[in-house]
Chains A and B, each alone.
Chain A
Amino acid sequence: QVQLVQSGAEVKKPGASVRLSCKASGYTFNSYFIQWVRQAPGQGLEWMGIINPSGGSTNYAQRFQDRVTMTRDTSTSTVYLELSSLRSEDTAVYYCTRSNVAATGRFDYWGQGTLVTVSS
């Protein structure tokens, strides 16, 4: 069965960076895009960007362009999200999701989420 398993919770200080992982299984890794979505406490969902595991091309939401990097390791079917220059407003649950096309609002599988807390 398709699974996206994310890394554990993180606590970071303002200005630091965080690297989250998302390990995919149960399907052909290179055949689906991975997109990252975050949700601040009590707030809605916000798209951060997309990576194509086949080739590694990325497209980031404009507001995260200068702070986010998405990479993948095809040998372990794992995608990584790195967010730098963290601030308190980055406190959120970060989800990796799967989609079969890039230009879509349809995410058919979701990871369990990783809570990132930014606090001094």
Chain B
Amino acid sequence: QSVLTQPPSASGTPGQRVTISCSGSRSNIGSNTVNWYQQFPGTAPKPLIYSNNQRPSGVPDRFSGSKSGTSASLAISGLQSEDEADYYCATWDDSLNGPLFGGGTKLTVL
């Protein structure tokens, strides 16, 4: 069981805005920046958001991240069919002295 809690699934229709939450604690999200990864079946995770709300070059601005207290969120606006994937949050945990991943959220585009 992951210490970072994500909903196992999320869904939306094309064009909609969806958000995926990531809940942690003071020792992880509360003290460190949050990163998000997108993973398609059979491929390696791809960096999507780093330092809470920064996008690597090449990531569309439809993807945005935010953090408040011990929780973080990934928002996807103008949902497209190609956004159907698994999404993971990740951060450093001061108590564990290592990085933590959320359990992942499977996004379905209806």
Contacts and interface: CB of A to CB of B under 8 A. Distances in A.
Partners in one complex: yes
B110 interface: no
A108 B97 contact: no
Contact of B102 (A44, A59, A95): A44
Label chain A's interface by main secondary structure.
loop
Interface of B: 2, 32-35, 37, 44-47, 50-51, 56, 88, 90-92, 97-104
A47 B57 CA distance: 25
A58 interface: no
Interface in A14-50: 35, 37, 44-47
Interface in A62-120: 95, 103-108, 110-113
Contacts of B97: 59
Contacts of B50: 106, 108
A9 interface: no
Given A44-B2, A44-B88, A45-B90, A106 B47 contact: yes
Interface of A: 35, 37, 44-47, 59, 61, 95, 103-108, 110-113
Given A59-B97, A105-B100, A106-B51, A45 B56 contact: no
Contact of B44 (A44, A59, A108, A110): A110
Contacts of A108: 47, 50, 56
Contacts, number: 59
A27 to B, nearest CB: 15
7 smallest A-B Cβ distances: which pairs?
A: A105-B90, A110-B44, A105-B91, A45-B101, A105-B99, A44-B104, A106-B35
Contact of B88 (A45, A61, A111): A45
Given A44-B102, A47-B99, A105 B47 contact: no
Given A44-B101, A103-B32, A103-B92, 17 more contacts: A37-B101, A44-B104, A45-B90, A47-B99, A59-B98, A95-B44, A95-B45, A104-B35, A105-B32, A105-B34, A105-B91, A105-B100, A106-B35, A106-B50, A107-B37, A111-B44, A112-B44
B46 to A, nearest CB: 8
Contacts of B92: 103-105
